[in-house]
Amino acid sequence: MNTTLPNSLQTTIEKVKKAFPGETKLHDMFAQCYVNTFSTTLKHLEDGTTFVITGDIPAMWLRDSAAQVRPYLMVADQDEEVKNMLVGVVKRQLKFILLDPYANAFNDSPNGKGFQADVTEMSPHVWERKYEIDSLCYPIQLGYLLWKATGETAHFEEDFHEAIKTIIHVWKTEQDHEKQSPYRFERKDVRQSDTLIRDGKGSKVIPTGMTWSAFRPSDDACTYGYLVPANMFAAVVLDYAAEICEVVLQDKDLSQSCKDLKQEIRIGIETHATMEHPVHGKIYVYETDGAGNYQLMDDANVPSLLAAPYLGYCSFDDPVYQNTRNFLLSRDNPYYYEGKVASGIGSPHTPDHYIWHIALSIQGMTSISAEEKAKILQTMIATDGGTGFMHEGFNASKPEEFTRDWFAWSNSMFSEFVLSMCGSAVKGSPLHNQVDGQ
């Protein structure tokens, strides 16, 4: 646990106090949530890398760790300690990707903790081996935004070069999962969402140009293998990777490979992942299999359909996105809940009628309405369950009932949302351009 708070973080806390005069509960909540990752989840390893636990689970998720430290990018250009910590996070993520690109969560040493009984190619360094596209997206995104925010390139070494090659290989392999993929996953005697059908292969898909995912960012199994928001994220970070390869790594061939794969995925999304909804018009589907089957919903994690412009796949006012958003924030979405205290998007991962704070943060950061943003902020202040922290899911009518009292990712998302309300966002991110333009 880090008890010494850098001056840059303290200055940010003071900035929020000035931006919201008199809102003492918000001041206290932001101060707690903003420093939560820095103070409680970081472990500096002997090799100079940074290991980040997700909170109440002592493992490092590639996804969570990147999202947890993201708000600190806003001060990294003025704080060497914070910048070095972020470089260490990226370097640790790259080592894990090269260790096993199909794993989603890792141990800080080869100690054999986690789900070692799963029927897949486990290793003692791996906590869990649920293959999720976004696990490979987040480290690229973090590395790119760190570069844009600070000019730092220390994390773009040989491991980054090799990781990009590895990621492209996996994503191209999983464009034809049925014939090419070596990946299998089964977990015995659990609910269906924690394992894959067909002897660990998952439901059948046919090639579309998109790349296949076994699990969602909730760590629940996909119903249909083409997880659309994760493919959107992949398309965005392939652009990031192409720029890094060309400008920093000076590998034009690899840069072109990134661009080519991005184009194939985008065409796949636009060709196979939209539909005409009878109420909302043309919208994106959440999952599809390339054979005409699809899932209409959104999950509360990121990447999500709601997060598409936050990730950079489309503009905030894109018509198809706005149609999709209207669908997602309505009763037509099976995981949209309305309660006595709050309304918002929940997840099949948590109980019925439970809304996720992460989804509320994303709703706020993707809104083009100042009134909606302000309303969401007040909702989040009112649903901390008396803890001063954000949670995973909470009962929309009884926010004192919630899941995960220590969920650092959710705290960081809330912090980023509050900072965006103050006119601050990560340089190089789509949100920065949106905040700048307001």
| Residue pLDDT, tens place only, 63-112 | 999 999 999 999 999 999 999 999 999 999 999 999 999 999 999 999 99
Percentage of residues in the chain with pLDDT exceeding 70? 99
Peptide bond into 303 cis (omega under 30): yes
Q: Look at residue 4 in the predicted model and tell me its pLDDT.
A: 83
pLDDT in tens, 383-426: 999 999 999 999 999 999 999 989 999 999 999 999 999 999 99
Q: What are the φ/ψ torsions at residue 52 (nearest 5 degrees)?
A: -125, 115
Higher pLDDT, 257 or 433: 257
pLDDT of residue 437: 55
CA–CA separation, 306 and 37 (whole Å): 24
Confidence of residue 1 (pLDDT cuts 50, 70, 90): very low
Q: Token digits for 12?
A: 């940010």
**pLDDT tens digits, one per residue of 47-67:** 999 999 998 899 999 999 999
Q: What's the sign of the alpha-carbon dihedral 176, 177, 178, 180?
A: positive
Please check the confidence at residue 173 and state whether its pLDDT lies above 70: yes
- Cα(159)–Cα(109) distance, integer angstroms: 18
Give the type of residue at 367: S
Question: So what's the pLDDT on residue 55?
Answer: 86
Rounded Cα distance between 207 and 289, Å, is: 8
pLDDT for position 434: 87
pLDDT of 133 higher than 50: yes
Question: What does the pLDDT read at residue 433?
Answer: 87
Domains plus CATH for the chain?
7-437 (1.50.10.10)
Contacts of 277 (CB under 8 A, 6+ apart): 283, 296, 323, 327, 332
What DSSP assignment string belongs to 289-336?
-SSS-EE----SSSS-STTHHHHTSS-TT-HHHHHHHHHHTSTTSTTE
375 CB contacts (<8 Å, ≥6 apart)?
none
The average confidence (pLDDT) of the chain is 97
Mean pLDDT of 196-221: 97
pLDDT tens digit string along 239-261? Answer: 999 999 999 999 999 999 999 99
Long-range contacts, 112-120 (Cβ 8 Å, 24+): 113/58, 113/59, 114/59, 115/187, 117/187, 117/188, 118/185, 118/186, 118/187, 119/184, 119/185, 119/186, 119/187, 119/188, 119/200, 120/183, 120/184, 120/185, 120/186, 120/200
